[in-house]
């Protein structure tokens, strides 16, 4: 199976951010402080980075940001809730924006370094809005996602991380003339993959 240009871009962005995070984790200061993954620990997080729809005919990727809450059931498992605003693409005045409100469960893995990777699974409701196309619309659809990344302490109560999400989202606006669907590709799509690659900062308490 061949990779399309946006697949290479997601991989390149994730690699660059992960390389920077590994550099932070290697510093001696990152190893100090209390355990942010202890049972009962809570995180409030903010994130900022890249967002992209991989639907047929979709625009080039743009920006996204979000925030979340995480609580640790034990040192390995956590659960939480997250909200994000994703500008999936722009063509001039036309924009495709998505706002996911989701819950997730996450498995954290202890390494012999300050850096700890994680894998998560979540789902919820995805509000989607298309504007500036002459065929605008908004919808609220269900979806789910796989999440992966890593976090490393940078202070006693702060973590820096990389968060990568592959969202699988329902599609119901098939006749939009700008952002894909039957109107531009001739192909009906029931769902699409939406990518997010973001730097994440978490306050630990």
Query: What is the distance between the alpha carbons of residues 39 and 154, in angstroms, rounded to a whole number?
Result: 20
Q: Is 40 exposed, middle or buried (0-12, 13-18, 19+ CB in 10 A)?
A: exposed
**How confident is the model at residue 1, as a pLDDT?**
41
Please determine, for residue 192, whether its predicted confidence score (pLDDT) is greater than 80.
Answer: yes
Cβ-contact 169, 145 below 8 angstroms = no
Please measure the distance between the N-terminal and C-terminal CA atoms of the chain and give it in whole angstroms. 45
pLDDT single digits (tens) 77-125: 999 999 999 999 888 888 999 999 999 999 999 999 999 999 999 999 9
Which CATH code is given to the segment(s) 5-204? 2.40.160.20
Locate the DSSP E strands across 11-109.
42-53, 62-72, 77-91, 94-108
pLDDT single digits (tens) 7-61: 555 556 555 655 555 555 545 445 456 899 999 999 999 999 999 988 877 788 8
DSSP tag of 96: E
Say if pTM beats, i.e. exceeds, 0.85.
no
Residue labelled with tokens 């047929």: 56
Domain limits, the chain: 5-204
Question: Which of 204, 116, 155, 166 is CA-nearest to residue 14?
Answer: 166
Query: What is the distance between the alpha carbons of residues 63 and 50, in angstroms, rounded to a whole number?
Result: 5
């Amino acid at each position: 199976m061949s990779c399309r240009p946006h697949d290479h871009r997601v991989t390149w962005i994730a690699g660059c951010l992960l390389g920077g995070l590994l550099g932070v984790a290697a510093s001696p200061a990152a190893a100090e402080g209390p355990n942010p993954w202890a049972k009962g620990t809570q995180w409030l997080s903010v994130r900022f980075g890249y967002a992209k729809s991989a639907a047929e005919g979709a625009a080039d990727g743009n920006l996204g940001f979000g925030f979340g809450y995480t609580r640790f059931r034990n040192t390995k498992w956590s659960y939480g809730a997250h909200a994000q605003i994703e500008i999936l693409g722009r063509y001039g005045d036309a924009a495709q924006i998505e706002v996911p409100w989701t819950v997730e469960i996450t498995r954290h893995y202890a390494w012999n370094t300050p850096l700890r990777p994680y894998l998560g699974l979540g789902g919820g409701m995805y509000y989607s809005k298309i504007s500036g196309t002459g065929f605008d619309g908004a919808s609220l659809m269900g979806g789910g996602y796989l999440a992966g990344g890593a976090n490393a302490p940078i202070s006693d109560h702060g973590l820096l991380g990389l968060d990568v999400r592959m969202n699988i989202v329902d599609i119901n606006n098939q006749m939009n003339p700008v952002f894909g669907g039957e109107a531009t590709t001739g192909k009906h799509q029931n769902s699409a993959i939406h990518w997010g690659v973001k730097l994440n900062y978490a306050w630990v308490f």
